[in-house]
Structure formats: structure tokens, C-alpha cells
Amino acid sequence: MRIALVVEYDGTGFAGWQWQLAQRTVQGELEAALSRVADRPVRVVCSGRTDAGVHALGQVVHFDTEVSRKTHAFMMGTNAWLPADIRVTKALEMGADFHARTSAIARHYRYEILNRSMASALGPRQQTLCPKPLDVAAMQAAAECLIGEHDFSSFRAQGCQSKSPIRFLHFIRIQREGERVLIDVGANAFLHHMVRNIVGSLLAVGTGKERPEWLADVLAARDRRLAGVTAPADGLYFAAVLYPECFGFERAPIFDLLPADARRFMPSAPHEFSVSVSLSTNSR
């Protein structure tokens, strides 16, 4: 059987998604719980790795098992062994043609900013505090240059392992909800620290440090040194993944912002996944 799980977690207490020796990771905790349910070792593949401190609302993983269990039993049994800061919210039985990473058409990240002078007592590690007033209209105007296919070298981490800096950013939406500023970003794939580096640059615009036109110059320069600082991990959420309808996943409303011909990531590097699919046909 191939099983897909939708997983949410509070990234505060983890050294990131990926398993690391002598470190508490989301992958490590999830595989340990699944292995107890299956009574044998289980390894999972995720739709996108997250860094230390980054949260997830809709991470998707898959694993293969010879153990016959109903999907509900896998979900409830795994949750029984998981710590309180990780939860499996859905389990689906999949065909062998499904892959959590390479089947994905698009990924959605949300960055949440608390725009006031004092941090929150309720969730200080689930938001990023910005005490200076933010000009959301200026931030949105600056962000428009990022939409489309670009070389995002100016917004990738120095240690990024991707062979290609080319990504297709489908949408970036910046909204204010009272004291919160929400930045929603959707792309076919992301580079390491790409969202946090974009947000750091947008904060420079929102606080008046830089003009909106500056961001286009940063993008064109393909030089990380010219962009803003890397925004903290606290406010970042891996929010959702979009798959072709044939796989049976619920479609998050945010993906209505995608163009009808949105396609999977098509990397130039041979080791990176490469499959094309159109949203309009939902072919595999």
C-alpha cells in the first residue's frame, strides 16, 4: 500500500523537517510513530522540507507499507504515538503513481506578521513581530515584479542545494487583517530560504527603507547580497500543496489564484524531479 498523510506541526521545537543525528525533527518523530503502528520501520517522503522553526498547516507525505490497515487506523494510531506539536489530519490510500514531492503542481507558503509595538502573549513563536507601521500597498506593488518565471538567485540561501535558481512564482498576495499582515506566496517550487528572503526584502519596502522599484533591481541583479535580511522562521507556514484532481486531495481555495495552465516544476538538473502536468487537463 502507498499511503499519503496530511500533517500539521508547530515547528518551534524542531530542528527542521529532515532527519538529523541527535536532533529532534518532524521526520524523525513521524517515522517513529508510523513505525510503531506498522510494527516495522517506515520511511516517509515529504512534499517540501521546512527549516528549523517553520510551521506547517498542510504538509503532505507518503510512505509504502505491506501492513494492511484502514487509512483511519493509520491516522489515529499515528497520532496516538506523536507528540502534541505534530498531528496527522488526513490519510488517503494512493496508487503507486502518486509521489508527495514530484506529483505536486504548486505549493503555498504563508508568512504572518504581527504589526504592532508589542509581541503576542498567545503565540510569540507563530508570528514575526514588526513594530514599525507597514505600508501594505507599497509591499504589494513591489512584489508584482516577482510573479512569473525568474532566476531567484537574489533570494536563495547561500547553502541552497538546488542546481537551478529558476522558479515560477504564480502569485504573491499581501493583506492586512487588523494588526496582522499576511503574505501568501504560491510557486511551482521554492529555493532554500526563498520565501523568508522575499519577506525580508518586502519588509524593507513596507517600513519605507526602500522604494517599491528597488525590488525589481534586486531580482535582476541575481545577487543575494543586495536583497533584504532573511526574515525569522517564526511567522512562516507551509500552508498547502496542490495535486491533480485525480489523486483526491482537497483543493485549498488559495489555489484559485493559479493560472489554468500551471505546471509542475521542470528543473534543468537531472537529479531534481521533472514531470509536466496542466491544471486544465489534470493529466499525469
The CATH number of whichever domain residue 110 belongs to comes to 3.30.70.660
> Catalytic residue numbers?
51
Residue 263 lies in a domain: no
**What is the Cα–Cα distance from 153 to 158, expressed in whole angstroms?**
9
Residue 8 lies in a domain: yes
> Are 59 and 115 in a shared domain?
no
> Are 138 and 227 in a shared domain?
yes
Angle of helix 194-206 versus helix 136-143 axis, rounded to 10: 130
> Are 130 and 215 in a shared domain?
yes
> Are 88 and 136 in a shared domain?
no
The pTM score is 0.91
Residue 267 lies in a domain: no
Among the candidates 94, 127, 152, a domain finishes at 94
> Are 62 and 13 in a shared domain?
yes
- At 267 the pLDDT is 66
**What is the Cα–Cα distance from 129 to 113, expressed in whole angstroms?**
6
Residue 150 lies in a domain: yes
Single-letter amino acid code for the residue at 49? R
pLDDT tens per residue, range 83-113? 999 999 999 999 999 999 999 999 999 999 9
> Are 131 and 30 in a shared domain?
no
Residue 175 lies in a domain: yes
**What is the Cα–Cα distance from 256 to 253, expressed in whole angstroms?**
6
- At 120 the pLDDT is 93
> Are 189 and 233 in a shared domain?
yes
> Are 115 and 218 in a shared domain?
yes
Q: What does residue 144 show for φ and ψ, rounded to 5 degrees?
A: -60, -30
CATH number for the domain spanning 80: value is: 3.30.70.580
**Grid coordinates in use for 220?**
535582476
> Are 117 and 233 in a shared domain?
yes
Residue 259 lies in a domain: no
- Please give the tally of structural domains in the chain: 2
Residue 250 lies in a domain: no
> Are 123 and 225 in a shared domain?
yes
Length of the chain: 284
Residues in the chain, pLDDT under 70: 266-284
**Domain of 130, in residue numbers:** 106-237
